[in-house]
Structure 1
Amino acid sequence: MRGRGRGRNSYRGRGRGRGRGSFNKSTIVCYNCHGLGHFQYECPKWNDEANYVDEDHMLLMTYEKVQNYNMHNVWFLDSGCSNHMCGDHGTFTELDENFKHTVRLGNDSRLQVHGKERISLPVGGIKYVVRVVYYVPELNNNLLSVGQLQEKGLAILFKHNTCSIFHDQRG
């Protein structure tokens, strides 16, 4: 006999989750202080002002309003980009020019990759090493792939016209 109701063997639990396994909160970003590892209702800084930013826990946070700037020094975070890409040969600290590949851009055009390796990205007086960056000489803009950053274990928060990138262990 089939029907509605709560007879034997019917499950009445909370939601459709995967059970009560262990849950890692290390990448959870607090809506109050933007710190990692806790929810807003658990925030130790709950009574502090709502726009609190803890610069000791920022990996990358930058805001620059520049009238005349050199595009080789500007990097765009791109959620549609599958690889980090740079068009300036001089930006690379190491470069394997034997690597050849083709990338397809958002406008469906294709560009040749003439190498890959690593760059040193200065942010706030600190140089961050970014690995596996494609060298695409015809590229007009330098692109950091949001997907690649997330695969490296970084948490990315876009809020109030600001992007903050956090590392699990380093903050």
Structure 2
Amino acid sequence: MPVRSRTLSILCLGPVAAIFLLCAASRVQAEALPPDPEEAAASAATFEDLVARAQAGDASAACEVGVAYLNGTRVAQDFRQGLAWLVLSSDFAFGYARYVLADVYSRGYAGVPISDENAYYYASLAAAASSLPEKYRQRAVKLRNACAKRLTAAQIASLQARAALAPLDAAGLPATTR
């Protein structure tokens, strides 16, 4: 069956089914291609460079490494490593890492236990990050407020005092999110 008539017959199934089937067909075709060894080697070298920059104190690189470990992109998925790199980036006052940590702890992403206290703390820091784009700051405010509803006044006061001692804002977003 030619591609055009196959596409038309898929569209007769309805828009949701059509999108699913077209995406699935694209994925099957993409998975059938063998990986490019040169591209894999370049990606590994790039990730090693990123880790080296993160180890040298680059907050943006540490955030990228953390997100890569959480998502299992460019490296095997490892939640402990991901959290450790994101916390390091947050310790360097990197706003986007703080936002990601708030989100991870609020949802219990992929094996990370839900923690309203940690989510509130990191969301408070992200909401105060002037270098973080407004859409992320607004999301951080919503996360913080949602967590606050499940915390006691004493917990909130303690977390606010802890946040007041945290280093202030470092610049921007990681290069991969810009």
TM-score with structure 1 length normalisation?
0.27
Relative contact order, higher structure (CA 8 A, sep 6+): 1
Structure label with greater radius of gyration: 1
More helix by share: 2
More strand by share: 1
